[in-house]
Structure 1
Amino acid sequence: MSTEAEKTARAVGSTAVGGARRREQHGWYFYDFACSVYSTSVLTVFLGPYLTSVAKTAADAEGFVHPLGIPVRAGSVFAYAVSLSVVVAILVMPLAGAAADRSGRKKPLLAVAAYTGAIATTGMFFLDGDRYLLGAFLLIVANASLSVSMVLYNAYLPQIAGPEERDAVSSRGWAFGYTAGAFVLVLNLILYSGHDSFGISEAAAVRICLASAGVWWGAFTLVPLRRLRDRRVERADGAGAVGAGWRQLVATLRDMRRHPLTLSFLLAYLVYNDGVQTVISQASIFGSEELGLDQTTLITAVLIVQVLAVAGALGMGRMARTYGAKNTILGSLAVWALILAAGYFLPAGAPVWFFLLAAAIGTVLGGSQALSRSLFSHLVPQGKEAEYFSAYEMSDRGLSWLGPLVFGLAYQLTGSYRDAIISLVVFFLLGFFLLARVPVRQAVAAAGNAVPDRI
């Protein structure tokens, strides 16, 4: 009887633990649901063309603005601001990751980063007239805050999901994000297209869409803050947070040298993700300025991306269970290269072709990102999740400065965004080659983690 009682107690305990873990996973999904609206509505659709128009209002007769006395083409302001936000993120992300691992308190840091970004995004409502510097400043703050928050958010993945379920959990997180992005874009499209019937100007409609993304971000961040829990860690070193953070960063870099295969994956990811992030941040500028497409067409195209990215993230998650995450990512990179090669020849003023390209991007976008995150989670030594994910996030958003910078310089020098498109194909092909050389099963074992049956 005592044996049966013990079995029953273990079963009940296991069920309770499983229920608590699922509750955390559901809460974790909701941060993607909260912040992805910024990436979609603000960074991908509205802010690029709108900030460019504001900068052009402030420009001189030759089309240049002069921040700090430096002549900059108005059409390059957005791309340069994105690149500068990356520099800020690089300085802050490793400190946030190290501080989280030292204290075990990721949630308060996540709250600070998330609400800093949400407030900056909401403040974009006041971006009008010739206030391009205000727009650039708010973009830098919001983008850097997003990157910092994602370090902390991603670091929960190894703690809330076992090795065999991480591909699925990560893919569901991306699916939640793309679902939110698609839903809010539908509302944006209704408001923007019918702004006259709502009694507001086109510029006011854009500003409302920008600000509403910040409100959404802040509101739904409450869900993960309620459901996620911190794991306390004991640290012998009681040094101050800032000094300890820098020392921990140095220690992390040294520690990563002991895991060269993890570093090899990060290098591959850095390269191909630079192409992904450039497509995301510069698509609206390319469509409006180079292809001559109107804002309604751009919103519709991104909505197509969002809807198909949900199916793509879930579908590629299932493919990974059969073919492994690495092979599935490699397949997506080959598709990315073909998409961008076709995009180089995309005719101007042709919405149908732009929609077809958007559909192809949506099919591979979510899956390639979700599986990269889950694959990296297997390569992180236990107890160092936030530190290592800070390096990952630097690759994800923090070091994705080269693509936007190339686009900005290309326009600065040639006046054409199309000239930089073909360079992105190189990022995907080189990333494919580097990832193909990483022995992931050996890398997982070298990190001290259990090797899944299929990876």
Structure 2
Amino acid sequence: MKGQAREGRFTRTEKSWILYDWANSVYATNIMAAIFPIYFTSVCGQDTTGLQWWGYGTSIATLVVALLAPLLGALGDYKGMKKKLFSFFVLFGVLFTLLMAVFDIWQLLLTGYILSYIGFAGSCLFYDSFLTDVTTRGRMDKVSSWGYAMGYIGGSTIPFLISIGILLAMGMSNPAAVKLCVVLTSVWWGIFSIPMLKNVKQKYYIEKKKAHVVSDAFRNIGSTFRDIFKNKGIFLFMIAYFFYIDGVNTVIHMSTSYGETLNLDQTGMILALLVTQVVAVPCSILFGRLSKRFGSLPMILSAIVLYFCICVLGFYMGFSVENAGGSAESIANAQILFWIMAFLVGTVQGGIQALSRSHFGKLVPPAKSNEYFGFFDIFGKFATVMGPLLISVITAVTGRSSLGILSLILLFAAGAGILFFGRAKIRQAEQQSTQDRNS
């Protein structure tokens, strides 16, 4: 049938949706994880001050999106609204990312980061909810996993390699090189967003009453919240997601800032994160395939267990440097551990995010997918407020950034525990959703 995917092939709509991961992942790599955090920390101060302010800035940005997410989700479910809101946040994020290349003062750099991150996170909210519009329930794991895989190939690895080349050619500490990488990020994100903007359309929606759009949206928020609370499976999955995705996102946001406080080699950290991107490509696809055999929940749980080990390793890395007084030998050993951690993160980072997104998509009614994903996003964003803030506060109180990293194991443990003991309810919710779609 025309428009439907043949077995093993993607439709044009699915390809366009996948390509937005290719487009926006450059922001996640260059601005959130690798190049810009190192630059900001060096501008702000190479002691724990830079780490603290980076954590505060990330928390502020995610808090703003978290507070707006339910309303944005409710508005996005109306006919024609999802694409408009998605387009606004893409343009907002691309613009403020570009403006970051103008600033030199760390306060303005932080402000530009906060605003650009709001655009990035807002676009991702609507992008994730479009998953129910672009494919079938049976193909969600595959399409979502390929989205992350293509993001790692094109959005991360290719522009990341170009950025590394720029930094090596112009100098790692050269502000002009960093600014050029920021411009590259903005241009890449904008150009490769075009297929998504052009080809993906909202398939499921609620008819809009023009006179009462906002008031109806608020009523729908209350209705959806009550439905989520009544559906124990969805509610338990979202609570678990709240905890474990906090750890995942905090690792993404804080890893290089953490390494910078330990005086790790900047070039070494950036190259290690390149390993993360390369490893993540096949592993993201592998997670999608293994989910067919073992199920999404067992694969998510296995990823959480590995993240638990990564946090313990990260604590040991920092603790050894701190106890040795930052000796050359301890820093050299920490650099090796950073590479090992980068490899381990690459094996699970894309998989846990892709399967979380697709599994939630299987649980929710498609006509209200954007609103449900709005609540899904608020749980994730409030968690991301908590993680960086937790690291920043513990680092400030104890003077040891390693103890802040260690605290993340509590979040992973809580998420795993809720998924494991609530797995029966979650499976019931999935079965009920399947029946509702087929009825």
Could you give the per-residue CA deviations for residues 379-421 of structure 1, whole angstroms, max 9, x where no partner exists? 1013110000111122333431111001111232233311111
Aligned match of 2:183 in 199, 205, 211? 211
Could you give the per-residue CA deviations for residues 200-243 of structure 1, whole angstroms, max 9, x where no partner exists? 97111112112321121111111111110123745364334443
- What is aligned with 1:68? none
- What is aligned with 1:227? 199
> Which is further off, 442-451 or 172-181?
442-451
- What is aligned with 1:114? 90
RMSD: 2.3
Which whole-Å CA distance do the structure 2 matches of 1:451 and 1:438 have between them? 21
Larger Rg: 1 or 2?
Answer: 1
Deviation at 1:74, TM superposition (A): 4.5
Structure 2 counterpart SS, 1:401 = helix
Which whole-Å CA distance do the structure 1 matches of 2:435 and 2:261 have between them? 48
The alignment status of 1:422 with 2:406, answered yes or no, reads yes
Deviation at 1:287, TM superposition (A): 1.0
Structure 2 counterpart SS, 1:126 = coil
Deviation at 1:354, TM superposition (A): 1.5
**TM-score normalised by the chain length of structure 2:** 0.90
The alignment status of 1:442 with 2:428, answered yes or no, reads yes
Kept in 1: contact 2:97–2:112 (CA 8 A) = yes
Which whole-Å CA distance do the structure 2 matches of 1:418 and 1:383 have between them? 45
The alignment status of 1:139 with 2:120, answered yes or no, reads no
Structure 1 counterpart SS, 2:363 = coil
The alignment status of 1:327 with 2:290, answered yes or no, reads no
**TM-score normalised by the chain length of structure 1:** 0.87
Kept in 2: contact 1:381–1:448 (CA 8 A) = no
| Aligned residue identity for 2:416 | F
Where do residues 43-442 of structure 1 align in structure 2 (5 Å cutoff)?
Answer: 43-56=32-45, 73-128=49-104, 131-179=105-153, 180-195=155-170, 202-231=174-203, 233-235=205-207, 237-290=209-262, 292-346=263-317, 347=320, 348-350=331-333, 351-436=335-420, 437-439=422-424, 440-442=426-428
| Aligned residue identity for 1:82 | T
Identity level (%):
30
Kept in 2: contact 1:275–1:403 (CA 8 A) = yes
> Which is further off, 274-283 or 425-434?
425-434
Which whole-Å CA distance do the structure 2 matches of 1:111 and 1:396 have between them? 22
Kept in 1: contact 2:364–2:433 (CA 8 A) = yes
Unaligned runs of 5+ in 2: 321-330
Kept in 1: contact 2:83–2:202 (CA 8 A) = yes
Deviation at 1:249, TM superposition (A): 2.1
Kept in 2: contact 1:301–1:354 (CA 8 A) = yes
Deviation at 1:370, TM superposition (A): 0.6
Structure 1 counterpart SS, 2:366 = coil
| Aligned residue identity for 2:229 | R
Deviation at 1:271, TM superposition (A): 0.4
Which whole-Å CA distance do the structure 2 matches of 1:411 and 1:220 have between them? 39
Which whole-Å CA distance do the structure 1 matches of 2:217 and 2:332 have between them? 51
Which whole-Å CA distance do the structure 2 matches of 1:420 and 1:428 have between them? 14
> Which is further off, 398-407 or 242-251?
242-251
> Which is further off, 233-242 or 157-166?
233-242
Unaligned runs of 5+ in 1: 1-13, 58-62, 65-72
Which whole-Å CA distance do the structure 2 matches of 1:234 and 1:341 have between them? 47
Change (3 A) 1:372 1:329: same
Deviation at 1:21, TM superposition (A): 7.1
Could you give the per-residue CA deviations for residues 274-326 of structure 1, whole angstroms, max 9, x where no partner exists? 00000000000111112x21221111011111111111101111111111111
Which whole-Å CA distance do the structure 1 matches of 2:56 and 2:191 have between them? 30
Structure 2 counterpart SS, 1:125 = coil
- Between the two proteins, the alignment pairs up a number of residues equal to 420
Structure 2 counterpart SS, 1:127 = coil
| Aligned residue identity for 1:283 | S
